[in-house]
Structure 1
Amino acid sequence: MATDASPAEDQAAAADAAGRLPDERRNRLVDLLRRRGIMRVHDLATELAVSAITIRRDITLLAEEGVIRRVRGGATLTEPPEPASAREPAEPPGQAAASLTVGMVVPSLDYYYPDVIRGVREAAAAAGVRVVLRGATYQVADERRQLASLIDSVGVDGLLVAPTTESDEGEELVRWLQTAGVPVVLIERAAAVGPYREAMESVVSDHALGAAMAVRHLATFGHRRVGLITTITSPTTPHVRAGWRLACEELGLETDGTPQARTVDRRDPGWARALDDVLDACLASGTRALLVHSDPEAISLVERCQDRGIRVPGDLAVVTYDDEVAELCDPPLTAIRPPKTDIGRAAFALLLERLHDPGRPAHRVVVGPQLIVRHSSS
């Protein structure tokens, strides 16, 4: 079956083919396990002078045949190893049971994801696992390059990744991840692959629930129209809009004529015009409450309100989504706070469970956000 391969994988495969035949390599792999008892993927790859992904594929094949069995981070024989006297000299204590290495690729290192990273690192430190972090740029080519490097050059045992999934390129990246040869857990993304749309392992915030919580909060102050601003580039936007719509329908709020803007973000030259258009629509429709994704856009909105003499929250109540810098605003913004640190902890735990038990069913974990009430909505 044909699969997509990175240039690094193609080079590794060519090197393997130029060397020993697969059967010969696998025989040597089994022989190493017979003499040493247990070995990690990285050590086997070094001994056999092939890529880590090649070793993982060999382990998968040999495990299916019942010759060996997978263990955390490596493999061992299904039968007892040879007596110690017949083995090669023992490795230094702890080397064979060295900690796992997990690769992590996120689209930003300075917004939203630092707390996710912190959660992963805290959980990994407690488990004695090394984490190798890479930052991407919401570009599929950059994400795939970073991921291929972690697999081929670092030899990671598993991946935690927040990939681009929406475009055709993103869908291709997800398919490539499914065949990467290491366990993968998606962070703040969900995907299904294959002809039967099988779920990939994932941990996500319930952004739709968070948006609905914001609408319900604003409705408690008597607001019958709750407007919405989301940016067109954010992968969170569809979930926020879905939750907003659900809550408006549930509460019977007015949506006809209520601003429901999909805008550029605040860094775009068109942001100032889009912002004034939204505020004009609020005044024209009598909308006195807004849910805004995300914090920088919400803070910019409040500043523009001040320029135009619109009082927050007196004339316009505002709730933001993300709670990265919401409390720095004047007034401090009521916010929906996704469970970012808990997302990181849960994603690491899911990956560790997959490494312990490769045959377990795929899990999808959904974690609820919090409403943080400050001064901009009351």
Structure 2
Amino acid sequence: MTVSDSTAPLPEERRAHVVELLRRRGVVRVSDLAAELDVSVITVRRDIALLSSQGLVRRVRGGAVLHGEAAPAERGAAEAPTEQRLTIGMVVPSLHYYWPDVIRGVREAADAAGARIVLRGASYHAADESRQLARLVESGGVDGLLVAPTTTGDDGEALVRWLQDAGVPVVLIERAATVGPYQEAMESVMSDHALGASMAVRHLASLGHRRIGVITTRQSPTSPHVRRGWRRACEELGLDGAPDADTVDVRDPEWAGVLEDLLDACVSSGTTALLVHSDPEAIGLVQRCQERGVRVPEDMAVVTYDDELAELCDPPLTAVRPPKGAIGRAAFELLAARLADPDPERPAHRVVVEPRLIVRASSRP
């Protein structure tokens, strides 16, 4: 029976129909319910999530059973509501920089667990991320989501609300967000970027630098954390003021002029060390220093944040290396734990992983 638009039941009636179908059939697939009730997969997932929180049903992969009942596969039956292999949707903002190592970490953990990853690349825009996520969820083929979404601005805030109501467990990667009237945290796994920046400042200070500046790119979601760690370490160490720039990245036509102004500010202020996010900007900085006769590290020590390309620079760059592979593995394991324990009272988990400082020639005495 397919419910037409003119006879579409109220939400309470629809959920009661779901419970009745489960009584009759034992187990029902999400995709079958969506087709039978003529609603979206997301709507069905939300209904099941609500019924689960009320103790009426229990979620299983791809569907639901009545609370206290076993799914066919759990009873040893020949059929199950879906293929028993866990399927995780993953959406990241880039497939080329930073994120490949995170993806490899997820793949390693998924392979060890016999799970499948469905990967989608986006473009640091909430609209693109929303489209990719909606396609994954509405397909009915994913059990949970790993996502690095845009969380700021009106579109980012709307995307966070959508994720909260998507009807499948979600773990944020290298992002943090809060939801609801009490601003409860969503589950997440993040590098401690502020700590990494602080480590860089303390390394430079240990070499005798008293004026340590920072350059970040305003487009990067990591920049606020880097700046917070830099500022905190400078205050704790009593370091003098130095250039503090949150600006365009190396791809912007204005970058060359911005870089020139920054180096002028370093010379006039007596700044002798810089923390730069990220590698392309740090490499561009070193190249321009050399063109201007500013020696690295003798006149200007440089530490970069990310360590994607840092070792290829001349001189090789000291770098803060976020634990990208460990982030991916931890994110998968957190989502798998959530799927294994669908108890609505399970508290949200936020995992923070420490980065490493890799000392190279750009900051050695």
Q: Do both proteins adopt the same fold according to a TM-score greater than 0.5, normalized to the shorter chain?
A: yes
Does 1:364 pair with 2:350? yes
Name the amino acid aligned to 1:104: M
Q: Hey, what does 1:3 align to over in structure 2?
A: none
User: Structure 1 208/56 Cα, relative in aligned 2: closer, same or farther at 3 Å?
Assistant: same
The alpha-carbon distance between structure 1 residues 82 and 238, as it changes in their structure 2 partners (threshold 3 A), is closer
Partner Cα separation in structure 1 for residue 3 and residue 299 of structure 2: 68
- Matching residue's letter, 1:293: H
Residue 65 (structure 2) aligns with: 76
Q: Is the 8 A contact 1:334 1:373 kept in 2?
A: yes
Deviation of 1:58 after TM superposition, in Å, equals 3.0
Matched, 1:330 2:308: no
Cross-structure match for 1:270: 254
Distance, in Å, in 1 between the alignment partners of 2:44 and 2:88 is 17
Query: Which residue in the other structure is 1:7 paired with?
Result: none
Alignment partner of 1:293 out of 277, 284, 293 = 277
Report whether the alignment pairs 1:60 with 2:49: yes
In structure 1, what residue type is equivalent to 2:266?
A: C
2:239 counterpart SS class: coil
Contact residue 73 and residue 100 of structure 1 kept, 8 A: no
Matched residue, 1:203:
189
For structure 1, list consecutive stretches of 5 or more residues without a partner in the other structure.
Answer: 1-13
Separation (CA, whole Å) in 2 of partners of 1:262 and 1:33: 56
Distance in 2, Cα, partners of 1:225 & 1:57: 54
The alignment status of 1:143 with 2:132, answered yes or no, reads: no
1:180 aligns with 166
Residue 99 (structure 2) pairs with residue 110 (structure 1):
no
Aligned partners of 2:181 and 2:143: how far apart in 1?
Answer: 27
1:281–1:26 distance in 2 versus 1, CA, 3 Å: closer
Amino acid at match of 2:41: A
CA distance in 2, matches of 1:83, 1:303: 64
Contact map agreement 2:72 2:78 (CA 8 A) in 1: no
Show the 5 A alignment for 1:300-315.
300-315=284-299
Relative to structure 1, the CA distance from residue 81 to residue 373 in structure 2 (aligned partners, 3 Å threshold; closer, same or farther) is: closer
Which residue in 1 is equivalent to 2:333? 349
Aligned residue for 2:311, secondary structure, equals helix
Change (3 A) 1:286 1:62: closer
Q: Which amino acid aligns with 1:344?
A: G
Structure 2 counterpart SS, 1:376 = helix
Distance 1:327 1:112 in 2: 15
Find the aligned partners of 1:154 and 1:66 in 2 and give their Cα distance: 23
Change (3 A) 1:213 1:123: same
Which of 203, 216, 223 pairs up with 1:237?
A: 223
Give the Cα separation in 2 of the matches to 1:265 and 1:65: 49
Unaligned ranges ≥5, structure 2: none
Change in 2 beyond 3 A, CA 1:29/1:180:
same
Aligned match for 2:151, one of 151, 165, 169 = 165
Cα gap change, 1:247/1:300 in structure 2, threshold over 3 Å: closer, same or farther? same
- Scaled by the length of structure 2, the TM-score of the pair is 0.89
Deviations 1:101-130 (A, max 9, x none): 211111111011111111111111111222
Match for residue 317 of structure 1?
Answer: 301
- 1:118-143 C-alpha deviation (Å, 9 max, x unpaired): 11111111112221111111111111
Give the TM-score, by structure 1 length.
Answer: 0.86
**Partner letter of residue 273 of structure 1?**
G
Q: What's 1:280 paired with?
A: 264
- Write out per-residue CA displacement over residues 177-227 of structure 1, whole angstroms, 9 at most, x where no aligned residue: 111111111111111111111111111111110000000001111101111
Change in Cα spacing, 1:81 to 1:352, as seen in structure 2 (3 Å) is closer
What CA deviation, in whole Å up to 9, does each residue of 1:208-267 have, x standing for no partner? 100000000011111011111111211111111110011111111111xx1111221111
For the structure 1 residues 351 and 79, does the alpha-carbon distance in structure 2 shift closer, same or farther, using more than 3 Å as the test? closer
1:274 partner amino acid: V
Give how far 1:324 is off: 0.6
1:374 aligns with 2:360: yes
Stretch of structure 1 that moved more, 63-72 or 236-245? 63-72
- Corresponding position of 1:8: none
CA contact (8 A) 2:27 2:63 kept: yes
Deviation string 1:5-62 (CA, Å, 9 cap, x unpaired) is: xxxxxxxxx9774676467765665566456655553465567675332332332343
Between the two proteins, the alignment pairs up a number of residues equal to 358
1:26–1:287 distance in 2 versus 1, CA, 3 Å: closer
Q: Is the 8 A contact 1:73 1:355 kept in 2?
A: no
Q: CA deviation at 1:71?
A: 3.4
- Pair 1:269–1:59, CA change in 2 (3 A): same
Say which SS state the counterpart of residue 348 (structure 2) adopts.
coil
Q: CA deviation digits over 1:63-119, x for unaligned, max 9?
A: 3454322235532223557999xx9xx645x67452122111111110111111111
- 1:310–1:316 CA contact under 8 A, matched in 2: yes
1:178, 1:343 → 2: CA distance? 21
The CA deviation at 1:290 is 0.7
What secondary structure is seen at the aligned counterpart in 2 of 1:319? strand
Separation in structure 1 between the aligned mates of residue 169 and residue 303 of structure 2, nearest angstrom = 38
Alignment of 1:92-131 (within 5 A): 96=82, 98-131=84-117
